[in-house]
Every structure is written in C-alpha cells, then in structure tokens.
Amino acid sequence: MPTALIGGGAVLLYLLSGGLLGRRLSHPGVQPERWQILLLGLLAVLLHALLVGPRLLDEGLSLGFFNALSFSGWLISALLLVSALAYPVENLGVILLPFSALTLLLGLLMPSTAVEGAVDWRVQMHAVVSLLAYSLLTLAAVQALLLAIQHRRLRAHRPGGFVRGIPPLITTENLLFQMLGVGFALLTLSLVTGLFFLEDILAQSLVHKTTLSLFAWLVLAVILWGRWRHGWRGRAAIGWILGAFVSLVLAYFGSKLVLELILNR
C-alpha cells in the first residue's frame, strides 16, 4: 500500500477521532460511543506504526529530529489509547491525537536522512526509555492543563459545558499523579541508563540535554515528595509540572533542533 495512502488514512483517523472526542466532551451523551472513537484512534496508531517503524529502523537506528518527533507522536497516542481502555483519560486526545497527526505529516514530508548505523543495544534502550518517559510526561502535562481549566471553571461557578464531560476533580487529580509517578520512574531510568551506557553524558553536545533533564527530574521529585509527605493538591503543582515538561521538551527536541537543523551536526 502506498505510503501516501497509509499516511493520509492515519492523519484522517487521528483528526476524526480527536474531533469526535471534542464533540463528545462539549456535548456529553452524543454519539458515537466512546469505544467507537477509541477504535478509530487505535486504527490511526496502527497505520502510523506501519510508517514510523521502517523509518526508525532503516539500516540502523534513525532518530533524526523528524523521525523522533513522529515516533514520539505515535508513542503518545498509543499510550493514551491503551490507557483509555482502563482509565478515563480519552479526553486528552482532543489535543494529543491532532498533535500525532501533525508529527506524522512532518515525518512524511521531511524525513530524517541521518542514520546512526549499527548502534549498541544499550544506547538504543536508553533512547527508547527516554522517549517513553517524555511521552508519558506529555500525557501528564496535558492532564495538568485539563485540571487547571477544571479548577478555574469550578471556582468561577461555571461547571457547565465541557466540564460536565470530565471525570470528577479528585479522579482527574489522582490520574495526574499516577502519570507523574510512572513518568518519573521512567525518567529516572533514562538518566541512569544515560550515565552508564553513554560514553560521555557531559559532552558538549549532551550537556544541555543532561542539565535540563536533571532539572525536570528534580522538580518532579519535589512535587511527588510534597504529594506524599504533605498531600499537595494538583492546583499547587500544575505550574511546576508544566515547567518540568517544558524543560524536557527543550532537553530532547530543543537540542536536536539546534544540532540537526541549525548547526547541521
């Protein structure tokens, strides 16, 4: 099947499922059913995988900027939709499914040409764990945004509209900290594997990535400690959660953007 046809189908399914989730969120109870929307999203993820897999493993590990962006978009949606089978997190797809469509389009239109060849399995594991941590913490960041909007609407005594389609505040908050806990564990594993598996984690090309990742790790560690020790609520931690997420985006994609697309390294 031609790449353009598979890619176009995936993009269309991503946008359709995201749009239907938005409609269902703003008008609770409307058709189609939740499982039907999730199925459309899962089909999009499957088609996306048919494209991102071969590109990622073409003659070796190819994690150039746009390949990595497309892979992270696929991973974010896959984690979201699989999680939605057990938890009420599908509303995050209003933002994340169209984002995955955009990453797929960019990956198709501007494929990465740099291939790293036969890369040691330990380096590959570090890269995959890092993207897993980034993807899960992306879900947490969007969940934090949803929680902030929910808090604001409730404080303004405007619980109508899309807020009616969101799970209760305590459920949204608990899901946020569960995501943060797992994402923090993966980020910890990423830093540990980077320390042991990379030749020089403080090399000039990696020092900014390492510093920003450590900053995000420290912020998340404080947030989770405060939640465990002092019962911090989501509202008090939202700004710090978003700050840690921005730090991670700059650590991985910011550094790759500068090195590959500006400095041509």
Task: Between 264 and 17, name the one with better pLDDT.
Answer: 17
**pLDDT tens, position by position, 151-199:** 887 777 666 556 666 778 888 888 999 999 999 999 999 988 888 766 6
Structure confidence at residue 117 (pLDDT): 47
65 torsion bin: left (phi>0), alpha (psi -120 to 50), beta (else): alpha
**pLDDT tens, position by position, 91-114:** 899 999 999 999 999 888 886 655
Structure confidence at residue 151 (pLDDT): 81
Task: Between 117 and 219, name the one with better pLDDT.
Answer: 219
Task: Between 40 and 154, name the one with better pLDDT.
Answer: 40
pLDDT band at 142 (very low <50, low <70, confident <90, very high): very high
* % of the chain surpassing 90 pLDDT: 36
Kindly state the tokens that stand for 55: 């590109």
Read off the pLDDT of each residue in 47-74 and give the average, rounded to a whole number: 78
Structure confidence at residue 172 (pLDDT): 86
pLDDT averaged over the chain? 82
